[in-house]
């Protein structure tokens, strides 16, 4: 992280790196343990070349590390705090959806009267 940059700018860069469904899915899988592109591809559900590009974004952002194992490159989570961040995002979404469900139930109840 470059010195002298406001933390909100650095945070924005982090969230930009996370701002793609395939990158989020890859990270969720990598939290379970290191994997190669070949192992990730069927689990993420996108073409290998596209997945490699998305993993490159994560690598450049410092969110994943790579290790060469023979001819295979294995990706891993760079920091376990990433699992905490993704779990927090999941809890936030569940909370927001629960509120939406409650509002919808109230509206349906009102319209049935």
Q: What is the DSSP string of 43-58?
A: HHTS-HHHHHHHHHHH
Q: Which of 100, 75, 71 is nearest to 22 (CA)?
A: 75
Q: What is the mean pLDDT of each run of 10 residues along the chain (113 residues)?
A: 82 94 97 96 95 97 96 96 95 88 83 82
Predicted local distance difference test score (pLDDT) of residue 52: 95
Q: Residue 66 has which token pair?
A: 């790579």
Q: How far apart are alpha carbons 59 and 77 in whole angstroms?
A: 9
Q: What is the pTM of this model?
A: 0.82
Is residue 58 within 8 Å of 27, Cβ to Cβ? yes
Q: 1-79 maps to which CATH number?
A: 1.10.10.10
Predicted local distance difference test score (pLDDT) of residue 2: 55
Q: What crossing angle do the helices spanning 21-31 and 7-18 adopt, rounded to 10°?
A: 90
């Amino acid at each position: 992280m470059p010195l002298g940059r406001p933390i909100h700018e650095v945070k924005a860069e982090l969230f930009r790196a996370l701002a793609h469904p395939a990158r989020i899915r890859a990270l969720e899988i990598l939290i379970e343990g290191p994997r190669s592109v070949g192992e990730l591809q069927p689990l993420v559900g996108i073409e290998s070349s596209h997945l490699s590009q998305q993993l490159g974004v994560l690598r450049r952002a410092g969110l994943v590390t790579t290790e060469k194992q023979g001819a295979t490159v294995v990706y891993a989570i760079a920091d376990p705090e990433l699992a905490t961040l993704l779990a927090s995002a999941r809890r936030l979404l569940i909370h927001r959806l629960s509120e939406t469900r409650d509002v919808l139930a109230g509206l349906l109840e009102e319209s049935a009267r």
